[in-house]
Amino acid sequence: MTSRLLLFTNDYPYASGDAVFVEKEIRDLAATFDDVVVFCHARDTSAGVVEMPGNVALGGNLFVPVPEDRIWTPLTPRYLGLIARAAWAELRAGRLLRHARLFLMAARVGVTQANRRAVRDAVAGADRIVAYGFWGMGGGLAVPWVRGVDARVVRVHGYDLYEYRSASGYLPFRPFLFDRADRILTISQDGARYVAERHPQRGVAAKIRVSRLGVPGPRVLERSPRAGERLVVSCSAVSDLKRVGLILSALKVLPGLSADRPVRWVHFGDGPLADELAAAAAELPEGLTVELAGRTPNAAVTDFYDTTRVDVFVNASTTEGVPVSIMEAIARGIPIVATSVGGTPEIVGPDLGTGELVPREVSARALAEVIRAVLDAPDDAYRPRRLWEREFDVQVTGPRAAELVRTAGEAS
């Protein structure tokens, strides 16, 4: 029996956006299916295409309009029944009247993507075909509308899961999406609870599986001994949600900071508040040095961890799924200080051996005290790598995810 996976992404295989996430699974997916056809939704293709396994091919970029796209496609008999079904599900959930315009716009996008000739042609030539949306938005909008497949899988993360994070407070046709899916993958237990609570309709809870996004790490870990200068690192967008400025404010009031007890902070990442952060870093107390590295390739960040002793990694976000940046840090044995939001408590905490949690509404001074405590803790106070080996090593998570996708829709 031959098998084919239709993989719907946002940017992959283009070397931007979600490529860093999809590449964590693609080799295991390729090893599980006879062939994989990728359909992306990439706005920017200037970075070029990454190297793919031999049995993986790009089927098309669904973001680019083609002559076959028709404004009346959703009204054809092929899709009209599904549109009515999706609208009814939205209406029953009390969502349609408040968000009718957004629903119709997104439904048109999803139907148009699913109706592409390249997609329809890919739904042929194999005995078993699975459609897998790596996201619940972007390219993943096509998944519930694709016809002729044996199973549908959707993975949800953060922006495509938590509706309160969207500007409108609404994500399109969620009841229909989860009803059509044979398996729903969430990256955290928090995400699984959110889906089950928000969508109590029959059968949804039974479809949910927690499927961690893993990261690679060194097979053997050798951490350098502590130096006189302690190193604090963070890695995220410089935005309101990530609150990188709060980290700087905390380090400015770090207990014991002096020329004799120096601390260096390196932040990887850029964003809309980068200029404001740079201005705030222009004046620093004695003993604190700051390096704002800006946008940095993922490989360069992990190379830095592999060659530099990092004493603590800090995440001050107001909301999270399960941060990949934290996974990469614990893979190198770096203890964490992070806010207790979203799925972060599933990867950070003294009971997990990975670090310390602080409240979402933590003050700069309270955050500073926890950072200092972790900086001063003995090396054996935390064992972050053990959790990575068990739950977040890509050599563990990749095969798990591929098996969950492969078996979707099969009888238990």
- Examine residue 132 and state whether it is found in any structural domain, yes or no: yes
Are 29 and 110 members of one domain? yes
Mean pLDDT of 130-138: 97
Are 281 and 300 members of one domain? yes
**Which tokens go with 349?**
């905490």
Are 245 and 117 members of one domain? no
Mean pLDDT of 260-281: 97
Q: What angle do CA 206, 146, 58 make, to 5 degrees?
A: 110
Per-residue model confidence as pLDDT tens digits over 372-384: 999 999 989 999 9
Q: What angle do CA 401, 403, 407 make, to 5 degrees?
A: 125
Provide the pLDDT for residue 19.
Answer: 92
End-to-end CA distance of the chain: 19
Are 82 and 49 members of one domain? yes
Are 320 and 353 members of one domain? yes
- Examine residue 29 and state whether it is found in any structural domain, yes or no: yes
Are 237 and 292 members of one domain? yes
- Examine residue 221 and state whether it is found in any structural domain, yes or no: no
Provide the pLDDT for residue 411.
Answer: 65
CATH of the domain at 206: 3.40.50.2000
Q: Which domain holds residue 172?
A: 3-214+394-406
* Close Cβ partners of 46 (under 8 Å, ≥ 6 residues apart): 16
Are 93 and 139 members of one domain? yes
Per-residue model confidence as pLDDT tens digits over 4-29: 999 999 999 999 889 989 999 999 99
- Examine residue 25 and state whether it is found in any structural domain, yes or no: yes
Per-residue model confidence as pLDDT tens digits over 56-71: 999 999 999 888 877 7
Contact 141, 109 (CB under 8 A): yes
Are 349 and 366 members of one domain? yes
